């Protein structure tokens, strides 16, 4: 017994010349109700009759079949509207950049034309760094994000019935060789603080950074918080009497400016006990500034820009510690705490829900195994 046509599909199209000189194209089509339809179309030529029949069949196609023939860029924009409601502003911004840089340029392809080899070619291309409009785009992290996005976008197409399977699920994971975490020693951290403060004390010209940069670096060293969390810190977040700081916000970058986000990266507040020397630094800062609004302020009382921060950080060090960014302070704090109090204490200080992240991305590996105390009695 011949198996039935799949729902939403048609059989072989045939065409014959009829008595009046025209051509008749015919095919059987099984609609969404399971009914088998005999569809015909007449025209003056064989090709015209076949094309006319295809148009008639398309009119019977279910909604999901129409979605399957949508162009990738159009379906992505529909998907993006719902996705925007579920993520933070910063995540949405990064997603939009991936779409602009890597999906829109190839977005003319239709959903039902996308294959695993095609996806792997696009992901591989995204992994290559290149310059576009004066900006560097691409790299392993971009390729990873693009693969994740294809899995989500095409997963939605599967959910809607437009695709039978998600081809992105079959693509190979992007291999990223992570650089070993580098951390400064306690002595280097002290030297770094002194280097930044001495640079601005002797700086011959007035600059806004002279007023906030040394204290800002002290705060990073004394807490290990994220740079964005320090940028968005308000005096209301500090209780200098009890020595507590509540991290409840962060700053995100939008078109070069810092934008206040009233929750942290993990969306969980956390309290940090401040060391005595940092409390003294903040008390003096409070006396100078009046203790209102943001703790570290740019011109006009707004938040400091990340680009301004990194520029001044680099200038103040003068290459003394090599090519480092403020993020090394967070890794150094985590490593110091892990050495003394263990991984869990380091993770709590940094605000990680999963301490595997702390270990993988913020703890410098020991160069020498010290197990003498354990093995010495054998």
**Overall average pLDDT of the 348-364 stretch:** 66
174: three-class secondary structure by DSSP? coil
Chain centroid offset of residue 148 CA: 10
Burial 121-159 (b: 16+ CB within 10 A, else e): ebbebbbeeeeeeeeebbebebbbbbbebbbebbebbbe
Question: For the whole prediction, is pTM greater than 0.85?
Answer: no
Stronger pLDDT, 247 or 366, i.e. the higher one: 247
Cα gap 283→287, rounded to integer Å: 6
| Highest mean pLDDT, choosing among 11-25, 251-265, 298-312, 335-349 | 11-25
Residue among 286, 294, 300, 292 nearest 232 (CA): 294
Residue among 318, 320, 238 nearest 282 (CA): 238
Stronger pLDDT, 32 or 37, i.e. the higher one: 37
User: Which of 52-66, 163-177, 204-218, 269-283 shows the lowest mean pLDDT across its residues?
Assistant: 52-66
The residues, ordered by sequence, that sit 6+ positions from 193 with a Cβ below 8 Å of its Cβ are 214, 217, 218, 221
Stronger pLDDT, 334 or 378, i.e. the higher one: 334
Percentage of the chain beyond pLDDT 70 is: 89
Write out pLDDT tens, residues 80-117: 999 998 888 878 888 999 999 999 999 999 998 999 99
Q: What is the pLDDT of residue 35?
A: 79
Neighbours of 38 (CB within 10 A): 8
Write out pLDDT tens, residues 115-127: 999 999 999 999 8
């Amino acid at each position: 017994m011949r198996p039935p046509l799949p729902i939403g599909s048609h059989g072989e199209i045939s065409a014959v010349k009829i008595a009046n000189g025209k051509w008749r194209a015919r095919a059987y089509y099984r609609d969404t109700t399971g009914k088998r339809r005999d569809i015909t179309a007449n025209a003056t030529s064989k090709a015209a009759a076949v094309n006319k029949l295809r148009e008639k069949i398309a009119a019977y196609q279910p909604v999901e079949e129409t979605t399957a023939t949508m162009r990738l860029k159009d379906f992505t924009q529909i998907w993006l509207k719902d996705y925007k409601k579920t993520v933070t502003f910063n995540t949405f911004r990064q997603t939009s950049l991936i779409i602009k840089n890597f999906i829109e340029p190839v977005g003319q392809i239709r959903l039902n034309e996308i294959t695993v080899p095609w996806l792997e070619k696009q992901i591989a291309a995204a992994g290559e760094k290149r310059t576009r409009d004066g900006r560097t785009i691409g790299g392993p992290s971009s390729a990873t994000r693009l693969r994740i996005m294809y899995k989500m976008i095409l997963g939605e197409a599967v959910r809607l019935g437009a695709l039978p399977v998600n081809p992105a699920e079959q693509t190979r994971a992007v291999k990223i060789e992570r650089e070993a975490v580098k951390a400064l020693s306690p002595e280097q951290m002290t030297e770094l603080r002194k280097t930044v403060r001495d640079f601005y004390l002797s700086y011959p010209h007035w600059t806004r950074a002279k007023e906030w940069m040394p204290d800002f670096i002290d705060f990073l060293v004394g807490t290990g918080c994220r740079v964005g969390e320090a940028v968005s810190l308000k005096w209301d977040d500090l209780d200098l009497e009890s020595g507590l700081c509540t991290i409840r916000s962060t700053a995100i970058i939008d078109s070069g400016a810092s934008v206040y986000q009233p929750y942290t990266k993990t969306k969980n507040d956390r309290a940090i006990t401040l060391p005595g020397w940092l409390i003294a630094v903040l008390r003096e800062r409070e006396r100078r500034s009046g203790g209102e609004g943001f703790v570290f302020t740019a011109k006009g009382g707004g938040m400091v820009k990340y680009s301004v921060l990194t520029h001044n950080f680099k200038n103040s060090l003068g290459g003394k510690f090599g090519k480092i960014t403020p993020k090394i302070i967070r890794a150094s704090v985590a490593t110091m705490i892990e050495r003394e109090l263990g991984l869990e204490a380091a993770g709590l200080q940094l605000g990680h829900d999963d301490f595997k992240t702390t270990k993988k991305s913020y703890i410098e590996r020991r160069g020498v195994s010290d197990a003498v105390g354990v093995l010495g009695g054998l």
